Amino acid sequence: MARIPQRAFRHPAQLVVTGFAATIAVGTALLMLPVSRSGEGGAGFVTALFTSTSAVCVTGLSTVDVPAYWTPFGHAVILLLIQVGGFGIMTMASLLALLVSRRMGLRTRLNAAAETKALGLGDVRSVLRGVAATSLAVEAVTAVVLTTRLWLGYDYGFGRAVWFGVFHAVSAFNNAGFALWSDSLVGFATDWWVCLPLCVAVVLGGLGFPVILEVLKRRRHAREWSLHTRIVLSATPVLLVAGFVLVLANEWRNPETLGALAAHDRVLPSLTASVMARTAGFNSVDIGQLSEGTLVGTVFLMFIGGGSAGTAGGIKVTTFVLLFFVIWAEVRGEADVQAFGRRIGDRAMRQAVTVALLSVALVAVGTMTLVEMTPFGLHQVLFETTSAFATVGLSTGITGQLGTAGEMVLVILMFVGRLGPITLVSALALRERQRLYQNPEGRPIIG
């Protein structure tokens, strides 16, 4: 047996990327089997690759009707890929955070330990157990509620109710957005017992394991929460409320979305739309019928995403909030950037700017490419590329009409968008070094 060279994976990020690529390859092979597809023959390579990538990267975009195109075996494969992808993302992000903290200097390590106490520095096994326990607990509770509702409220057989409950619970907590209903959650738009548990699971998965663990450990000592936890828990409600108001206000009179519902029934679909824009991908209204204002606002929410070391995508809430505080400090003329009683280091600010600008560049390049390759308008293509990069899974309905080349563009965006921020930030942090000299300061004209 050929030995893998010791220098083949000099950086842990390389191992993460290789592992996810291998999982996608296995998933593609399984989905190409005739047993995975309804009808004659197996799925085509591009269709299987797209679905496998979307499942492993917990996106939810699909070029085919998932319930009708795939068999129960195919659905089981998709479920397994979602679980493996979501667990891998939370675990790898948490472990890379541990590794980064260990590679820092002593003083920096001590500061990092104080700010990331939820990660349990030095105890990798506790991270693995914590991620597994958190995932299974949230998924189990969500599955029980959904199973009960579908069994008693919709005349599903018990076995079918259990399967649907488990599938959608796993898909929700991992922010995947795959559904076994062709219209996603449109048929349950006003059912609180279906939509609300899914929303809660999505939010918890998007917070990230470090935040969940720290809140559980220090729920009575909020003042001792780390800066990361404070940022995520402060920004998440603000973004959720902003999205809720945006959808409710813009779609209130839209007869194709909320306007067709009774006034008191418009609250839940608005809440669901706001939550799912945080990279979950379920929809309880027709995304293709949303007003342009709602689509643009949803693009911003998708791009921001959820918390780090969680199953949500996007540039992450922490990145967005740090950039806000950088702007706020500059506007006020302050030399240091302050947030929640802490001074933000230059390194963290540079990483936030790097992640944000590279993400903007990727979405822009993907959008321009698809605009040139497809007949669709800019707002539809921008929505689609942002959804793919931020691993959201929402679509205006054009995914299956992009052609093979267009689908491959989305595959690349999903893969890079899912692993890019994690691997990039860890790579930047692990390469941190001190310069032994400084050049004279220059001041170019800005603006």
Q: What was the pLDDT predicted at 93?
A: 61
**DSSP state, residue 375:** S
| Cβ within 8 Å of residue 407, ≥6 positions away | 46, 50, 63, 399
Cα angle 85, 29, 75 (rounded to 5 degrees) comes to 60
Residue with structure tokens 């605009």?
371
Residue with structure tokens 């000099």?
10
CB 13 within 8 A of CB 426: yes
d(CA 112, CA 323): 20
Question: 3-class SS at 81?
Answer: helix
Q: What was the pLDDT predicted at 310?
A: 78
CB 423 within 8 A of CB 97: no
Whether pLDDT at 121 is above 50: no
**Sorting pLDDT into bands at 50, 70 and 90, what band is 194?**
very high
Lowest mean pLDDT among 2-16, 19-33, 173-187: 2-16
What is the CA 104 to chain-centroid distance, rounded? 28
Q: What was the pLDDT predicted at 45?
A: 95
**Sorting pLDDT into bands at 50, 70 and 90, what band is 446?**
low
DSSP per-residue codes, 21-69: HHHHHHHHHHHTSGGGBSSSSPPPHHHHHHHHHHHHTT----SS-HHHH
Q: What was the pLDDT predicted at 418?
A: 85
Burial class (CB in 10 A: 0-12, 13-18, 19+), 329: middle
Q: What was the pLDDT predicted at 411?
A: 96
d(CA 129, CA 116): 17
CB 317 within 8 A of CB 307: yes
pTM of the model: 0.88
d(CA 95, CA 124): 7
Interval 53-64: pLDDT, tens: 999 999 999 999
